[in-house]
Structure 1
Amino acid sequence: MAYLTQPDYVKYVCSCGQLKPITNLYFCRHCLKIRCGFCICHEVDSHYCANCLENMPSSEARLKKNRCSSCFDCPSCFHTLSTRATLVQPRPDPAAGDAKVENKQAKKMYYLSCFNCRWSSRDVGIPDQPVASGGWPERVNPHAARVNQLLDFYKAIAQQEKQEKLDKERKKFAIRGKYITLTDKTGLTGAMARNIAGLPSSESSSLAIANFVPSQASAEVEALPEDYYTKEVNLKQVTSMAQRLAAPEWQPTNAARLHPLARALSVKRSQRCRNCDHNLTKPEYNPGSIKFKIELLAYYHVPEVKIISYESVKAGATTSLLLKLANPTPHEMQLKLLQPQDVPPREETEPTLDKSLEKSLSFEKDTSWTKVIERQPALPTASRVLAPDTSFTLAQRDDAAEYDDDTQHDTSDIILWRKSNKLALRLQVQTDDTAKPGEPARVAVALEYSYRNTVPPAANAPPRTDHTLYTTLILDLGVVAE
């Protein structure tokens, strides 16, 4: 017998066919389907620094290259650098005639230091700064002009290709008396529209392409030093690959040329269902808050199944299996075990528009990427659970009852015990003779459960009642024993 507490031993089948534990799944209350991270849309709500909790809009984060201007990471171990203060005695300036500085007070200066690897900005010759935040010297990329020239060149090419595609479509669908675009009807030219929108004109794009100077390959390569193969290598002075890739603009090879790295910004994202376009999770805008405005996790809506214990699975034998089922909802739930092939097909109810409204609207937006590809994975067939033909009632969740020792032991052949909203079942697993020893012992089982929708109905819509939903689980029971 084995006791399992890891959640990966029980995986749920998502609507897109992925196998995920219940802690990695979401539940849409509008289309009543289980969603995973691959069948939902991810949207960035805000950018913030995880160290100083400074919040900034997307436009400002784009200008700062998604980096914080006041926080830095250690270039050696990538931990957050701390600002240290020190007192510096002013030195005499012979040019100014200062021979003594006894009456002058010590000046407070600041430098960056890492508490993990003891790296400091003084190690690479960065001068101390008179202010604690900001004012640190920024390194200038020697190839910045060339990089900007390449960016302008490729932007001009993209603009030119877009204009050629638009002209080709305009010639293809040109019909007298018909206006394909708004510019054809109002007489607003493309150049005027680009100037109003602040975009570069086609003439500037053509000029950028014409003035672009491509790179030339050189046959002459700088020779290596004479002591390149004989000089002893000091690994403490050579940077690692991770340290070089952390600064792609310079890629320092010597540890003495490491400079502080501006800390990358973090994002708060919201997740949206692709089928009904409703939010599944939406965090608070404040970066210091860890709460969610909307948090539709499957852990709070779908019954949770855990493996208490099981016997070793053998080919051609019937073994016992103990499962624990929990009701996470505040409503009473009816639950029944089924075979995966007995689950009825789900009827799709897509929202439809009024025909008069549908004729007046022109849907030019491509929404093919938002469609969820639903498929069924290959379920194990060598072993199956002998599901009882009875329904079970699970009480609603009560947080106060978690601390009460009111476990009720049942003498029936199926129910082992009850406690609050939890239920333990005694089941049997039957394995075919075709199972080979050493193969993974996996078994599939389906759950039929009742769900009470708490979403308020729309206007002139019938009231929503309890729904009967289905979900399929894959239980990992180790390997087939000999």
Structure 2
Amino acid sequence: MLVKDKYSLSALAARKRSGLPFAGSLGMKKETPQIYKVEPAVASEETDDALDPDIFTKVLTLSNVTTIDQRIRQPERQPVKSEDLIPIHKFLSVRRSQRCRFCEHNLSKPEYNPSSIKFKIHLGAFYHVPDVIIYRLARDDMQLRLCNRSQYPTHVRLLSFDQFALIAHSKIDELERSCGEAEKEKKSASSMVGHELCESPATQAANLKSCLRNAFKEKVNVVLQLPNEPILLPARDDLAEYELTAPQNLKEDPKAVLWRKGNKVVISAPLTVIDVELEDKRTGFVFEFGAVSYKT
């Protein structure tokens, strides 16, 4: 949907063009463009930008003064103070309606107000993929902070490259055997049950093979001791933003999970350097998590 379709601008434009002659007809005379003479700028020692008399005595507050980027964005005014800034004109961004090739579900709808969309769809992976940040790094230990920004809880598992290779090879063999089987029945669009991404077994096998190639591109000379059990990441709760409480009755290794606060977890991963002589230390792991897409 375009802007002209929403506000019926196409009909108005067509009605105006109907009374105009064709641009290439003989009735239109070609006029030579007129060239205007522009006087060159002359350098002058006198400028209008006078400094305030108290600029060297008054305490400077950076929040009240505009930056160079803000002044360049408004060349006609170039305000010095932040209170003199005016809103910048921005173009209206419009989305296209797209559907999945396999299940025919709406991936994005051309709505101008995201809160009015029937299927609340977040197009950014920021709200689905948990964050993994190096929280603290020591000589023989690395702490990772995991954060779940989704509104649904998920389980996270950290795997080494060797563990991932064993799991991926068995999964690829299983998918290649099931390529010839019939596809499962599609779920109704009005159901409230979560569904996995609609990918064929051949596509899933190709994705796993690509992940295997990317995992073993770099040589690893540091081994991480990762937790063996999956780690629960609670859902994000905007109402309890200032009252972060950890979930109770969780049987976890206290040496692996250091602390919890809301939807954030910090885990410990001890380091073991294989080749000490190398200056460039490299390590890596595979991050596995569960993502659920619910229809509302």
Which of the two has higher C-alpha Rg?
A: 1
TM-score, structure 1 as length reference: 0.31
Larger strand proportion of the pair: 1
